[in-house]
Amino acid sequence: MSSRQGKKYKLAREKVDANKYYELEEALKLLKEISFSRFDESVDLAVRLGVNPRHADQMVRGTVLLPHGTGKETRVLVFAKGEKEKEATNAGADFVGAEDIVEKISKGWLEFDKAIATTDMMCMVGKIGKILGPRGLMPNPKTGTVTFNISDAVSDLKKGKIEFKVDKAGIVHVATGKASFAVEKLTENITSLVDTLIKLKPSTSKGVYLRGIVLSTTMGPGIKVNPAFTRHIG
């Protein structure tokens, strides 16, 4: 980090009260105010959950369609043949194919953000599972990316459907939009995500479930958010 960037970060951090839990709208206004980068930073949300991810019955993962998207163009790849190949193209998929795409990926091509596959293609896609899996690109029926309903799957990803999964520390990290978004749009995106997390609370999770919520931009300091706003959702 350059001294210039360091100075900007320090000034931004000085405007944040590290001991305060901000109301969501207040936190978002402050976040936009202290955003100092020349590019349109992502607004990142970190939610600490009262779960133990080492236990299979406390693994929180899922998908949510953000009302206003992430602000990032999602390049969608579809593994399909025949009529489903045409359906994918008509739905706006960026890349569509079968054996040719599998071979291309096996040689190192990874110029896409999300992958969808029809169920009958998964045997073929499984051959490149070691490439796609570690990068979070493997189609999965649990996230709606292994399906014959290709049109809706492509549409949802293009509109802003995202996946999330609690990490080993019990934290869910998600990009919920861009710093240029209006506070109202960011509020709706964040509320949709948190609402989904609440609905996915494992029955075996005891005590406080939403233990901490922190907002930040890509380059900025964290801002603690009062979890009380979640009482009005879900």
Structural contact between residues 162 and 64, judged by C-beta atoms closer than 8 angstroms: yes
- pLDDT tens readout for residues 96-149: 999 999 999 999 999 999 999 999 999 999 999 999 999 999 999 989 999 999
Q: How far is CA 109 from the centre of its chain?
A: 23
pLDDT along the chain (234 residues), means of 10: 67 90 96 90 96 93 94 96 96 97 97 97 96 95 95 95 94 96 97 95 92 94 91 65
Residue 201 burial by CB count (10 A; 0-12/13-18/19+): exposed, middle or buried? middle
Which residues on neighbouring strands pair with residue 96, listed in sequence order? 78
- HSE at residue 154, side-chain half, CA atoms within 13 A, is 26
Which residue ranges form the domains of the chain, and what is each CATH number? Answer: 17-70+161-232 (3.30.190.20), 76-159 (3.40.50.790)
Q: What is the pLDDT of residue 223?
A: 96
Q: What is the pLDDT of residue 1?
A: 45
- Cβ contacts of residue 79 below 8 Å, gap of 6+? 97, 98, 101, 102, 115, 116, 117, 118, 121, 124, 125, 139
Tokens of 189: 């995106």
Q: What is the pLDDT of residue 46?
A: 97
